[in-house]
Amino acid sequence: MKPPIFQVEGLIAERRELTSAKNATWRGYILKVATIGSTLEMNCTAEQFNSVADGDGVACQGKIEDQAGRMRLTLIVMKKTGEKAA
């Protein structure tokens, strides 16, 4: 069964690069996308992370996965919309 797909448009509210004390070379990347009434936190690649800045408007598609009972959003496709935060 294919994982469910999500689709959302909003503004990049925050970008976070995660590191590990146990593995100095590991990096994880998180983007928070703000929409009207919600902020979604999603995992992304280093390339996706580096292609946007806080306040950029984006259209995102990705997959929803269950991670030990917690919903995990993983970004698959992201396109800039040209919108900017005021």
Domain spans, the chain: 5-84
- Which pLDDT band holds residue 67 (cuts at 50, 70, 90)? confident
Print burial letters for 20-55: b (CB count within 10 Å at least 16), e (below 16): eeeeeeeeebbbbbbeeeeebebbbeeebbeebeee
Top-tier CATH class for 5-84: mainly beta
What's the predicted TM-score (pTM) here?
0.87
- Report pLDDT for 1: 59
| pLDDT tens track for 18-59 | 999 999 999 999 999 999 989 999 999 999 999 999 999 999
* Mean pLDDT over the full length of the chain: 93
